[in-house]
Structure 1
Amino acid sequence: MTVLEYARAILRGWPIILVLGVLGGLGGYAWAATTPPTYRSTGAVLITSDRGTSASELVQGNAYVQNLVTTYVLLATSEVVLQPVADQLGLDANARSLAESVSASSPINSVVIEISATSGSPELAQRIAGATMASLSDIVTREVAPTDAAGDPTVRLTTIEGANLPRFAAAPIVRNVVAIGVLAGLAAGVVIAVLRGLLGQTVRDRSDIRRLTTVPVLGEVVEARRGFGLSAAVLNEPLGIEADSVRGVAANLNFLKVDGGLRSIVITSAAPAESKSSLAIALGLMVAESSRRVLVIDADLRSPSIAGYTQLTTGVGLTNVLIGDVDLEDAVQEWGSDSLFILTAGADAPNPSQLLTSQRMTELIRTACDSYDFVIIDSAPLLAVTDATWLGNLTDGAVLAVRHGKTTMHALERVMAAADTGGLNLLGAVLTRVPRRGVSRYGQGSYGGGGRRPLHRGD
């Protein structure tokens, strides 16, 4: 994906980004509201030295004290300092557990140690911090600090800031937690939007197909009006915009094979419900307009649908011809035009792959091409099974139905890889169910007269 495509994916995913941002903020608020508050009390002690009276001795003493700061910071949270604090305050915690709520630090290049204590009670936090400073001063004075000739300590700790009584909780800070929740939700929304762009971005126009494939775009078929399938719309209104869009696809087929022209094609798609079957029927109607004898075969034996769209009987069809029960000419049915014939799928078969890859299927296609001017075979989706690849190699090639707003970019890339692996000759792609908005209504309605009796709704 390009930077522009990433931006488009994020813009298209703004609803989920917004929702996740709000949910993240609400989740953060709920967590902050249910988490017990923690208070922090802080005090400070100053380390000084009584060594030396001259300027040089004072400088040496100051450097000596600064070297002790790091040691005393560590000493503040040690057992020798904190155990007296726990005993003095009567706490249930021992020195080790108390160390988890006490911290000590020193600003850079200073001889000040800041001691903080946290607790669920502001008063207890203040008492712990104050007792820790007192205990540290006592331990340093009595046990740790060097002494002079008289036995007096040369280093002492002086409280310069007593432990304060906190007025507000140190954690959780509701606004910060809510802000973090919102940011986390927004980030998750952006990730989901980008992933949907990578894996679920759908084909919207010709440029999407051209960017991912090398096959020509044969045309865009307009979505039929509500209540009508494509084949019904083409049959009822031969001069409508649906028929005109299919007619354009039929005309473009003539340019695909100049020498001799096309005699047989397979219609397939990446996945189910991408209007391949209705495209096969409608395309048959348009090719039959030129008085060419056209045969449409429903070879999607796993999910046949052409009989339903055309309201033809299903008792006899392709499977019956393949097992030798009837001949091809006895199984086909005329529909919609004197030049259009339909071979439905026929009786349900438990072994569709074996039937379609049999020698009888090869002979049937050869016979059909000899008996009809043009043969259109509706096959199963290419990514579901390999039927379309097999049948495509028995014909002049395959035409891919790509449904507007449903076929994903990822699926289209997989189709191209599958076709390449199987040696399938993809003749072109047709963008199906293109929204009617913005499409010219030339040829629809009053122009050219009325239509025929409406058929039942198709796909």
Structure 2
Amino acid sequence: MHSEDIPALTWTRLAQKLLRNTVLIVLIGVIGAGAAYAWAATRPLTYSATASLVAANLQRVPTYVRLASSDEVLDGAVSGLSVADARAQLTVTTPSKTNFVMVKATGRDPQQVADLANAVADGLQREARQIEEALGNSASDDALRVVTAAHAPQNPTRDDRLVYTLAGFVIGVLIGVVVVLAREWWGRPIKGMRDVRAQAPGIPIVDMGAAQPGSSPASPSRSGRGTLHRQVAFLQLAHPRVLVCLVPGTSDRRAVGAADVARALTAEGRTVMLVDADFVESSASRSCGVDASRGLTDVLLGAAAHADVAVLQGDLTVVPPGDAPPNPDEVLASEEMREFLASAEASHESVVVQLGAGAERHFPWVGVRAAVIVTRGRTTTRQLRITLRNLAEQNIAPAVLLASAGKETPDAEAPAPGG
């Protein structure tokens, strides 16, 4: 197996992922559109009404436009109206090169905006008449007159519900895209064979069936491919009987580990040695309820014999890790470790080794079968992908053991070594 065989996150793959999740993305967009429409529907609508005036003197029009917003006009116009801020609601304009003055009022109440526009138009007309009278203009009554009164509008000036709905849909789609890409980048829990095959094309996969941590996994009778030990034997035809187990990126006690694989093999009548080389978590020893303070490191350093640290549990022999060495990668790759595995292989039908998290970056042995244990609902696609790529970069061809975990079980009482 080569690293190129493990699918990497490329733009093409991400685009394919988006296409496969089109329904989910559109659904999130529809939810966003519905939420935006509901929010917009609660907002009050805006209405506007316009009163038109015509000036007798074109040169006076700019003066009248400025006059409409003056205190003299507004104070009198709003005296009978319940308007909080008349200036904010008014817009007074004149079409280019015309003698028309347009008084437009905007607000939430259609009748109120019509009354405000008419009141300002009337007030502006009175002020214009007074100005012309002060200037001695005999035609002051026609200086500025209302030609079109404002009427209460029947329809709102602007209905933002469509705009908000479209915006909500677009935002929802973007959120859906981010969710899909985030799930692909950070990984999602593996559910079954299909997910494993997508991450591990061409790699042997053994379905262990249901595995309750702390007990024996069930044989995968559903697959119809024989018992677990026969499937493991097929994996080991061209390899020694040493099966090195890696659990991608998790120390979750509900995840299936090497101890569960070892129990499954002993349940089918095989003599198995379980070697816990996880110096940090001691996950296999913990699962078996074995004291991990003295074990493999003592044997490798010559401080103890194999029989002194091994714990017998029926057909299962457990070797705990012992104290963590400062150089675990070198210890596992040492000649003493190879001799220990050869001795274990000679005295047992199967040897199952548990490595710690991240050990796949410096796989210590050549000529043994590596097995990546994947727990349904616990291991993520990203964790499996990274583990396989790390092994592929070292030309290690692993198998994948797929299991289903039950609920967490409490640690058993630790038996003494040699028991």
Match of 1:410 in 2: 382
Residues 265 and 395 in structure 1, CA contact (< 8 A), matched pair in contact too: no
Match of 1:428 in 2: 399
Cα distance change on mapping 1:44 and 1:217 into 2, 3 Å: farther
3-state SS, counterpart of residue 232 of structure 1: coil
Matches within 5 A, 1:143-182: 159=146, 161-165=148-152
Q: 1:82, CA displacement in angstroms? A: 1.9
In 2, the alpha carbon distance for the partners of 1:76 and 1:7 equals 63
Q: Which amino acid aligns with 2:320?
A: T
- Count the aligned residue pairs: 375
3-state SS, counterpart of residue 118 of structure 1: strand
Q: 1:433, CA displacement in angstroms? A: 1.4
Residues 54 and 146 in structure 2, CA contact (< 8 A), matched pair in contact too: no
Matches within 5 A, 1:213-228: 213-214=200-201, 216-224=203-211, 228=212
Q: Is 1:381 aligned with 2:364?
A: no
Cα distance change on mapping 1:157 and 1:194 into 2, 3 Å: farther
Q: 2:372 aligns with which of 400, 406, 412?
A: 400
Residues 218 and 253 in structure 1, CA contact (< 8 A), matched pair in contact too: no
Q: 1:275 aligns with which of 256, 273, 297?
A: 256
3-state SS, counterpart of residue 381 of structure 1: coil
Q: Is 1:102 aligned with 2:102?
A: no
Matches within 5 A, 1:41-440: 41-45=48-52, 79-83=66-70, 85-89=73-77, 100-103=88-91, 115-119=103-107, 124-133=112-121, 159=146, 161-165=148-152, 183=169, 187=173, 190-191=176-177, 193-195=179-181, 197-198=183-184, 199-214=186-201, 216-224=203-211, 228-229=212-213, 231-233=215-217, 244=226, 246-247=228-229, 249-255=231-237, 258=238, 261-272=239-250, 273=252, 274-282=255-263, 284-285=265-266, 289=270, 294-314=272-292, 316-322=294-300, 324-337=302-315, 340-346=316-322, 349=323, 352=324, 354-359=326-331, 362-373=334-345, 374-382=350-358, 387-393=359-365, 396=368, 398-419=370-391, 423=394, 425-433=396-404
Residues 284 and 376 in structure 1, CA contact (< 8 A), matched pair in contact too: no
Structure 2 runs not aligned, ≥5 long: 1-12, 80-84, 132-136, 413-419
Q: Which amino acid aligns with 2:89?
A: S
Residues 292 and 321 in structure 2, CA contact (< 8 A), matched pair in contact too: yes
Residues 33 and 167 in structure 2, CA contact (< 8 A), matched pair in contact too: yes
In 2, the alpha carbon distance for the partners of 1:271 and 1:241 equals 28
3-state SS, counterpart of residue 281 of structure 1: helix
Structure 1 runs not aligned, ≥5 long: 51-64, 92-96, 144-149, 436-454
In 2, the alpha carbon distance for the partners of 1:287 and 1:372 equals 19
Residues 51 and 102 in structure 2, CA contact (< 8 A), matched pair in contact too: yes
CA RMSD of aligned residues (A): 5.3
Q: 1:268, CA displacement in angstroms? A: 1.1
Cα distance change on mapping 1:276 and 1:19 into 2, 3 Å: farther
Cα distance change on mapping 1:299 and 1:433 into 2, 3 Å: same
Cα distance change on mapping 1:21 and 1:152 into 2, 3 Å: closer
Q: Which amino acid aligns with 1:381?
A: A
Residues 246 and 282 in structure 1, CA contact (< 8 A), matched pair in contact too: no
Residues 285 and 291 in structure 2, CA contact (< 8 A), matched pair in contact too: yes
CA shift digits 1:73-129 (9 cap, x unpaired): xx79964542254344368xxxxx86643347899xx99986532246656533432
3-state SS, counterpart of residue 262 of structure 1: coil
Residues 266 and 388 in structure 1, CA contact (< 8 A), matched pair in contact too: no
Cα distance change on mapping 1:217 and 1:404 into 2, 3 Å: farther
Q: 1:378, CA displacement in angstroms? A: 0.8
Q: 1:326, CA displacement in angstroms? A: 1.2
In 1, the alpha carbon distance for the partners of 2:171 and 2:391 equals 40
Residues 262 and 272 in structure 2, CA contact (< 8 A), matched pair in contact too: no
Residues 400 and 429 in structure 1, CA contact (< 8 A), matched pair in contact too: yes
TM-score by length of 1: 0.60
3-state SS, counterpart of residue 334 of structure 2: helix
3-state SS, counterpart of residue 281 of structure 2: coil
Percentage of identical aligned residues: 16
In 2, the alpha carbon distance for the partners of 1:77 and 1:251 equals 100
In 2, the alpha carbon distance for the partners of 1:244 and 1:420 equals 28
Cα distance change on mapping 1:370 and 1:322 into 2, 3 Å: closer
Match of 1:60 in 2: none
3-state SS, counterpart of residue 82 of structure 1: coil
3-state SS, counterpart of residue 195 of structure 2: helix
Residues 22 and 185 in structure 1, CA contact (< 8 A), matched pair in contact too: no
In 2, the alpha carbon distance for the partners of 1:409 and 1:158 equals 78
TM-score by length of 2: 0.65
Q: 1:401, CA displacement in angstroms? A: 1.6
In 2, the alpha carbon distance for the partners of 1:20 and 1:353 equals 55
In 2, the alpha carbon distance for the partners of 1:362 and 1:111 equals 101
CA shift digits 1:244-282 (9 cap, x unpaired): 553354034135xx3xx2353421122223413344424
